Each structure stands twice: as C-alpha cells, then as structure tokens.
Amino acid sequence: MSAARHAVLAGALCLAAVPAAADPAAEFEASAALREAVTEEGLLGHLRSFQRIAEENGGNRAAGRPGHELSADHVAALLEQAGYTVRFERFEFPFFEETVPPVLAAPGFAVERDQIRTLANSASGDVTAPVVPPSGSPLACEASDFQGFTRGAVALVQRGTCTFQTKVGHAAAAGAKGVVIYNEGTEGRTGPFRGQLGDPAPVPVVGVPADLGARLREVRPEVRLAVEARTGTRSSRNVLADGPEGTTGNTVLVGAHLDSVPEGPGINDNGSGSAVVLETALRMAELGGGERPANRVRFAFWGAEEVGLVGSRHHLQSLPEEERGRLAAVLNFDMVGSPNSARLVYDGPAAIGRVFRDYFDSAGLEAGSTPMRGGSDHAPFARAGIPTGGLYTGAGEIKSEESAARFGGTAGQPYDPCYHQACDDLTNIDAAMLHQMADAAAHAVLTLARDPEAGKDREPS
C-alpha cells in the first residue's frame, strides 16, 4: 500500500463513538476505508501461511500438535508487530487419538471405511455381538428406553435431543458392550458425523450415516465393532490481542478457532475465519484513526475448538465476573470460505444480527440466516447470556435447491465437500465469498467498536 493511500485511508477511519440511532447508510460509509484495506490477496496470504505450517508439521494444525503451536506463534507475531497487546492463554484438554481406523463389519453389509467415525473419548475395544436398538425411544435419552435390553449386545441408537454422553451412559448401564449412533436423517444430518463425548466412555462408540443405521435397525445382524485409541492430557493455548481501551469500559470480543482436525490443514475450517479476524485486526491497526473507540476490541484465536470448544470455554471461565459483564458483544467466524457456500448470519440477538443484515443490504448482497447451534465457539458465550453473533458459509450439510437458487453453487452437494478431511486445503476455498464475508466482518467489528450501545436492542425509531 502506498504512503499516500495509507494517509487517505487513515484519515477516513474514525473510531469516535456514534449516536445510538446511527443509520445503516452512515455505518456503511464509516466502514468503507477498512473494507477497502481488507483485500482478497491479504486473506489468501494468511491461508497460504497456514497451509505451509500444516505441510511442514504432519499435514495438520490440530490442538496440542506442532502445527497449531506454530500457527499461534505466527498470528501472535503479526499482531505484536501491528501494535496490539498480545498474550497467550494456556490450558489443558483431554487428548484422544485413534491409532487405527475404526471397524464396523457385518455379514452382507457393505460398509465403507469413511462411513464410520469414532466419537472422541470412546473406549478402545473389539466386540462381536448382535446389534440391538432400545425397546423404547431410539433416541435413548432415558434409562427406561433400555428396559429388557440384551446384555452383551451392541446398542444402536439415534442421534439427537440429548447428548452423546447421555445415550452412551444409558446403554452401558443396560449392559451394552458397544454403541453405534446413527445420524438423525433430517436435512443436513444424514451422512457420517463426528462427535465428542464429554467424559471417557466405558465401551467403544462410533457414529454412522442415517441410511446405514436404518439398515442395521431393520436386519439387526451380528457385527464386529473395533476401536483402537489412546487418551491422555495435552496442552494448547489461545492467542488474545487487545486494542486500546474504549470510553465505555466495555469490550467487543472477535474470535475464530485456529486449530484444525488431525485429518488435514483446516484451511476452510477454520483457516478462513482465522484469516478474516487476523486481516481485520491488522488493517484496523494500520489505519488507526487517532481517537479512542467506544469499546475495546479483543481479537481471539481459540485453541482446541475441534475437541469440544475448550479454548473459548476456558477463556470465559477465566474472566472475572466484572470483566465478563463488560463483554458487550461476541462475534464468531467459523468456516466463511466454503466452496459451495451460502452467506449466512447467525440468528442470535437482533442487536448483533442487525449489523450484519444492514451491511449485506447496503452492499446489495443476498444473505440468509442459520441457527445458532452449539458446535462452535460462540456457544459458551451465548449460554452465558452475552450478545453473540457471527457469519457462516456452511459445512457438511447438503445444499438445498432453494439455497442454490439464492447463492449459486450446486444443490444436492455439501457446502464444504472437504469438511474435516485432508482435502481441506487451499483448493477448498471460494476466495470471492471469503472476501465478501471478510468485508461484512470488518464492517461489524468497526461498527460495534464505535457504538456505545453495542449489543443492546434498540427501540424502533
């Protein structure tokens, strides 16, 4: 960037507080300089760095492994150079690693290896026994669902309603020697899936697609279920970068998880979100503005999201009560460059969603909404009652005809066909969509930083 252009942009980026009733057109104009500074090449440069780190460290950036540690060092160094106050937040997390792929085999069943996923914290074991569903609800959320269950069998239960831990606990208490959990069969929840047990299970536990679960339930064959894994404790860390203190004393927390799954480099999941947060932070520091914001902005790069949102939960739990009460808003960016994507806004509090929706309206871009489920780092903050929102472009869910008509792409295919796989690399990114979502993110961060009433619902004017 030329010195002359830098001077023009710096003068245009004003962090002074805005009136509570600021209109969308004024907000859109105020963020123009920052959005211009956030470039596609800048975003892709961060992704190339994450790809290189993964390639040089076993092909991944998983928590507790060198790829994540070096990613954290890389991000921290850039933020420190930009002038932020940077600190690491170290924590321990339960470690689970398969040593060989899981096995689920039955006579007359053709089961593809990639259809079987071991749930984290499954026990190791090799069991041959008949498959038996609960006598009550297939969801297995009540102990009474296992009345009359055949002890020594492999329990076949359906995903949904209650936690995996609850299902496995009831099955094991009824005498099951293993548990197979099949997907719900609803839109976006039909194929293979990953899961996390909160505590180590006493028996092997795997997940399978909905159609395979239906066939097993109908035939009830004898199966061989085998899992080999090791468990323990490992260390990971969050990277936290604070901007200048604001006039309100409140903080807008902007985060993305920096770790990948062990299977791949995680360039969409979640190099994309990390690149958006990093590029926004660097360009905000570069442009400056000279005036204190209404709210401090804290940029967070979470560790160990893929093993149970450990880093974000640790940060929230570590905050003193007074500081927690000063979190005006939390933004989360997880998977924002999916190759078969949709522009989706989390359906959280209106005060947060409005900023994103107003931006997309002003930019002339179609945007939809997505439920704020508990599978990413916004969840701990939302449960604590803190105003929370963010952006998303889809994961392994199947794209509908309606979504394809609205956002382009291919119906009947996943939003991200490489979700949690080795192919989630630089070829697995829609660069144009990533740039659009980055502009929306930068707009929201700046708008909320300038707003003394950030996170509060306003009365209609």
pLDDT of residue 285: 96
Contacts (Cβ under 8 Å, ≥6 apart) of 107: 221, 222
| Chain segment 30-50, per-residue pLDDT in tens | 999 999 999 999 999 999 999
pLDDT of residue 21: 55
Cβ–Cβ under 8 Å, residues 270 and 260: yes
Mean pLDDT of 361-388: 95
pLDDT of residue 16: 58
Question: Does residue 168 register a pLDDT over 90?
Answer: yes
pLDDT of residue 18: 55
Query: Regarding beta strands 327-333 and 222-242, do their DSSP bridges make them parallel or antiparallel, or are they unpaired?
Result: unpaired
Say if residue 326 is exposed, middle or buried (CB neighbours under 10 Å; 0-12, 13-18, 19+): middle
Cβ–Cβ under 8 Å, residues 246 and 293: yes
Question: Does residue 188 register a pLDDT over 80?
Answer: no
Q: What is the DSSP letter of 271?
A: I
Q: What's the Cα-to-Cα distance from 89 to each of 76, 265, 310, rounded to whole Å?
A: 12, 23, 12
Three-state secondary structure call for residue 329: strand
Tokens of 9: 């942009």
pLDDT of residue 71: 98
Cα separation, 7 vs 5, in Å, equals 5
Catalytic residue among 305, 306, 397, 453: 305
Mean pLDDT of 392-411: 96
Triad 117, 259, 281: Cα angle to 5°: 145
Cβ–Cβ under 8 Å, residues 177 and 154: yes
Closest by Cα among 377, 242, 277 to 50 = 277
Residue holding tokens 């040089």? 56
Name the percent of the chain lying above pLDDT 70.
Answer: 94
Closest by Cα among 321, 294, 324 to 312 = 324
Question: Does residue 142 register a pLDDT over 50?
Answer: yes
Cα separation, 391 vs 442, in Å, equals 12
Mean pLDDT of 257-269: 97
Closest by Cα among 151, 162, 153, 202 to 184 = 162
Q: By mean pLDDT, which of 2-11, 180-189, 317-326 is the weakest?
A: 2-11
What DSSP assignment string belongs to 140-194? --SGGGGTT--TTSEEEEE-SSS-HHHHHHHHHHTT-SEEEEE---BTTBSS---
| Chain segment 408-450, per-residue pLDDT in tens | 999 999 999 999 999 999 999 999 999 999 999 999 999 999 9
pLDDT of residue 289: 63
pLDDT of residue 125: 97
* Mean of per-residue pLDDT scores for the chain: 93
pLDDT of residue 2: 28
pLDDT of residue 102: 96
305 an active-site residue? yes
Question: Does residue 250 register a pLDDT over 70?
Answer: yes
Question: Does residue 19 register a pLDDT over 60?
Answer: no
Contacts (Cβ under 8 Å, ≥6 apart) of 144: 136
Tokens of 250: 């409140």
pLDDT of residue 5: 29
pLDDT of residue 457: 78
Say if residue 190 is exposed, middle or buried (CB neighbours under 10 Å; 0-12, 13-18, 19+): middle
The CATH number corresponding to 3-84+243-450 among 3.75.10.10, 3.50.70.10, 3.40.630.10, 3.40.449.10 equals 3.40.630.10
Q: By mean pLDDT, which of 2-16, 19-33, 183-197 is the weakest?
A: 2-16
Crossing angle for the helix pair 431-450 and 350-363, to the nearest 10 degrees? 130
Same fold, 3-84+243-450 and 95-232: no
Q: By mean pLDDT, which of 52-66, 192-206, 316-330, 441-455 is the weakest?
A: 192-206
| Per-domain residue ranges of the chain | 3-84+243-450, 95-232
Closest by Cα among 337, 317, 323 to 256 = 337
Residue holding tokens 């958006």? 276
pLDDT of residue 369: 96
Question: Does residue 64 register a pLDDT over 80?
Answer: yes
Mean pLDDT of 260-270: 96
Mean pLDDT of 321-344: 97
Question: Does residue 155 register a pLDDT over 70?
Answer: yes
What DSSP assignment string belongs to 404-432? HHHH-S-TTSBS-TTTTSTT-SGGG--HH
Band (pLDDT 50/70/90 cuts) for residue 107 is confident
Closest by Cα among 305, 107, 134 to 219 = 107
Question: Does residue 7 register a pLDDT over 50?
Answer: no
User: What is the architecture, at CATH level 2, of domain 95-232?
Assistant: 3-Layer(bba) Sandwich (3.50)
pLDDT of residue 12: 45
More confident residue, 266 or 372: 266
Q: By mean pLDDT, which of 2-16, 98-112, 211-225, 235-249 is the weakest?
A: 2-16
What would you report as the CA-atom Rg of the chain, rounded to the nearest whole angstrom?
23
Phi, psi of 154 (to 5 degrees): -95, 120
| Chain segment 303-319, per-residue pLDDT in tens | 999 988 999 999 999 99
Mean pLDDT of 403-409: 97
Specify whether the backbone of 58 is left (phi greater than 0), alpha (psi in -120 to 50) or beta: left
pLDDT of residue 8: 32
